[in-house]
Amino acid sequence: MRAHVFVTDERTFPVVRDNSFYGVGVKGIPDSLGGLISENLKNPRKPYFAMLADILGTRIGDIAFLYERQKGFHGIFRVSSEPFFDPTPIGCVDKTWSLRVELECLNYFAEPVPEDYLFSTKEHEAKFWGWFYRKIQGARGVNTINPEAAEALIELLVKINGNAINKPTQMKPYPSKNRTKITLPLDQDGKAYFEDIIRAWLISNIDNPGRGDLREIFGPSEDLEWFANNIPYHVTRKNIDILCYHKNMKYTGLPLRYKFSVVELKRDTADDESVSQLIEYSKWVAGRLAGSEIETVQPILIAFDFNERARDKARNSDFSDRGITLVKYEVKHNDIFLYKESI
């Protein structure tokens, strides 16, 4: 199950609920997609490409919960469109929330799940680790949550409410037709402008069954149970660039989560410190998520190139028998291409 928590407040919650959408943005964001891209290219400190990565991580059919600050988690909703750019003001949601997806209400529960319920038991604490670290670091608008957390939220909604009720009559389809398809600036040869652009491209394409380069690195698209970008795993601002869960039923007849892919991205040439950082993240995933089964964790380093220290570090790492996968990227023909390296 892939699921997301979308952050709202007392004012914005009824607007996005009743108009069947969610959006992210910040004050001062340009009112056109071209302007957004141009401004971020000129000023790398702007957060627009990071926001694009978050919204591009959604898929039609994903579950969504609306988190209302000071109230709790509302549900259950479904993402019903691809991400798009639309600065049309709707109610109190002005043009700053211009990176949007449409939502469909699946089951409406009148009472939200209070946030303290997420940490009321050790079992719940273990499932909601991602939300805990994200809150400590500072919540984003779009927060992809792991399957166990999504299932627990649904369970809590049912326990609190008993049954879903008819959705409010004021709910209506998304009212605006003024949308622009989201594209990324990939029109130069060679190196990406920023690491956030690589992350946004990868999270947008990672499950594309037609991309042979991605399938060679991440395996069958149908086995990608869950994936997300910028995964918080520490109270400090430590984030895993991309994390994937892999699952299938081919051999056991039961769902089996058989691998975790841990991805570190570097825009430039990666060095031995990049490899060390990747190993640190992979050890955390092995201990925290994989039940200390190190062999189920696959570290992947994607970079424009690798110096000899990086290659030596990866070659000589004793993290696991799987080894560390090195992947070069290249920007050409308005796209990104990945090439698995031999070390």
Judge whether 25 and 39 are in contact, CB under 8 Å.
Answer: no
The CATH code of the domain that includes 300 is 3.40.1350.10
In a domain? residue 143: yes
Cα–Cα distance between 303 and 198 in angstroms, integer? 10
The CATH code of the domain that includes 21 is 3.10.590.10
Do 14 and 102 share a domain, yes or no?
A: yes
Which pLDDT score, from 0 to 100, does residue 188 have? Answer: 73
Which pLDDT score, from 0 to 100, does residue 235 have? Answer: 67
Domain final position from 156, 181, 206: 181
Which pLDDT score, from 0 to 100, does residue 101 have? Answer: 98
Do 170 and 121 share a domain, yes or no?
A: yes
pLDDT in tens, the chain (343 residues): 899 999 999 999 999 999 999 999 999 999 999 999 999 999 999 999 999 999 999 999 999 999 999 999 999 999 999 999 999 999 999 999 999 999 999 999 999 999 999 988 888 888 898 888 887 777 688 999 999 999 999 999 999 999 999 998 999 999 999 999 999 999 777 999 999 999 999 999 999 999 999 999 999 999 999 999 999 887 677 899 999 999 998 777 778 999 999 999 999 999 999 999 999 999 999 999 999 999 999 999 999 999 999 999 999 998 898 899 999 999 999 999 999 998 7
Do 176 and 95 share a domain, yes or no?
A: yes
Do 70 and 163 share a domain, yes or no?
A: yes
Length of the chain: 343
Output the 3-class SS for the chain: CCEEEEEECCCHHHHHHHHCEEEECCCCCCCCHHHHHHHHHHCCCCCHHHHHHHHHCCCCCCEEEEEECCCEEEEEEEECCCCEECCCCECCECCCCCEEEEEEECCECCCCECHHHHHCCHHHHHHCHHHHHHHHHCCCCEEEECHHHHHHHHHHHHHHHCCCECCCCCCCCCCCCCCEECCCCCCCCECCCCHHHHHHHHHHHCCCCCCHHHHHHHCCHHHEEEEEEEEECCCCCCEEEEEEEEEECCCCCCCEEEEEEEEEEEEEEECHHHHHHHHHHHHHHHHHCCCCCHHHEEEEEEEEEECHHHHHHHHHCCCCCCCCEEEEEEEECCEEEEEECCC
Do 157 and 211 share a domain, yes or no?
A: no
Do 173 and 202 share a domain, yes or no?
A: no
pTM: 0.94
Domain final position from 181, 209, 231: 181
Domain range enclosing 173: 3-181
In a domain? residue 186: no
Q: Which residues have C-beta within 8 Å of that of residue 170, sequence separation ≥ 6? A: 18
In a domain? residue 119: yes
Cα–Cα distance between 22 and 256 in angstroms, integer? 33
Do 280 and 317 share a domain, yes or no?
A: yes
Do 130 and 228 share a domain, yes or no?
A: no
Do 175 and 199 share a domain, yes or no?
A: no
Do 66 and 143 share a domain, yes or no?
A: yes
Q: Are strands 3-8 and 99-105 parallel, antiparallel or unpaired?
A: unpaired
Which pLDDT score, from 0 to 100, does residue 223 have? Answer: 96
Do 287 and 214 share a domain, yes or no?
A: yes
- Which amino acid makes up residue 270? A
Bridge-partner residues for 145, per DSSP?
A: 3
Q: What total number of domains does the chain contain?
A: 2
Domain final position from 181, 216, 247: 181
In a domain? residue 275: yes
Do 71 and 176 share a domain, yes or no?
A: yes
